[in-house]
Chains A and B, each alone.
Chain A
Amino acid sequence: DQQVKQNSPSLSVQEGRISILNCDYTNSMFDYFLWYKKYPAEGPTFLISISSIKDKNEDGRFTVFLNKSAKHLSLHIVPSQPGDSAVYFCAAGGSYNTDKLIFGTGTRLQVFP
């Protein structure tokens, strides 16, 4: 039973437009959520996070929105750049699980000129 789901395996967006990556979860016990970015031949790198007590967190071009009632979070990238092309993983953690992270399956974002 997958607790963190990314239902879109891929997304293609034109440079300068908004990229929206989605993530759904099933467990209301999660305390926080993170987004990681992964380039080929590299490990995932931390991008942005949000606490379950907030509904929005912004860092430059990246904003994460959390809708707890829908158990849904999204990552917005505005404006999208070719260097944003990567695989994005959402992850969830909480003290109930000794803070071990549970990862989604990833969404491959391609930003084209």
Chain B
Amino acid sequence: DADVTQTPRNRITKTGKRIMLECSQTKGHDRMYWYRQDPGLGLQLIYYSFDVKDINKGEISDGYSVSRQAQAKFSLSLESAIPNQTALYFCATSEPSGGQETQYFGPGTRLLVL
């Protein structure tokens, strides 16, 4: 079984709809992240959480919200989806080790907003 799972894997929605992307992990890590990937722009950080009670905005948090329901679950919501939120979304987890952080990614959710 995968250590970091994301649901759904693909989603098509319409402008103005509210949608939620879910992430679960079995690695036991405290830290979780949400990124989006756009062609030519790499991975941009949307939100991150260092433990269940800690939520922080990343570089591009406008239009998004998150919920850390438990150590293992971190959900990303688009309150009112717009076409420029069409992208590939990745969840990741990490835990400090040996003086560095290595992030482990889920398989991604491909979102299309019409």
Q: Which one of A14-22, A44-52, A58-66, A73-81 contacts B?
A: A44-52
A84 within 8 Å of B (CB atoms): no
| Contacting pair A104 B42 (CB below 8 A) | yes
Contacts of B90 in A (CB 8 A): 43-44
Residue of A nearest to B92 (CB): A43
Interface size on B, residues (CB 8 A): 24
Say yes or no: A51-B43 contact (C-beta < 8 A), given A42-B108, A43-B4, A43-B90. Answer: no
Contacts of A32 in B (CB 8 A): 99-100
A99 within 8 Å of B (CB atoms): yes
A100 within 8 Å of B (CB atoms): yes
| Contacting pair A49 B100 (CB below 8 A) | yes
CA distance A93 to B102 in the complex (A): 9
B45 within 8 Å of A (CB atoms): yes
Contacts of B48 in A (CB 8 A): 100
| Contacting pair A42 B107 (CB below 8 A) | yes
Nearest Cβ on chain B to A36's Cβ, whole angstroms: 8
Interface size on A, residues (CB 8 A): 25
* Among B4, B50, B103, contact of A101 (Cβ-Cβ < 8 Å): B103
Nearest Cβ on chain A to B85's Cβ, whole angstroms: 19
Say yes or no: A100-B45 contact (C-beta < 8 A), given A43-B4, A43-B90. Answer: yes
Residue of A nearest to B102 (CB): A46
Interface centre among B41, B42, B48, B106 (most CB of A within 10 A): B42
B74 within 8 Å of A (CB atoms): no
B64 within 8 Å of A (CB atoms): no
Give A contacts to B, CB under 8 Å.
6, 9, 31-32, 34, 36, 41-46, 49, 51, 89, 91, 93, 98-101, 103-106
Give B contacts to A, CB under 8 Å.
4, 33, 40-43, 45, 48, 50, 58, 90, 92, 94, 96, 99-108
Extra contacts besides A42-B107, A46-B102, A93-B100 (18): CB < 8 Å: A31-B100, A32-B99, A34-B102, A41-B107, A43-B4, A43-B92, A43-B107, A44-B43, A46-B103, A89-B42, A89-B43, A91-B103, A99-B94, A99-B96, A100-B58, A105-B41, A105-B42, A106-B42
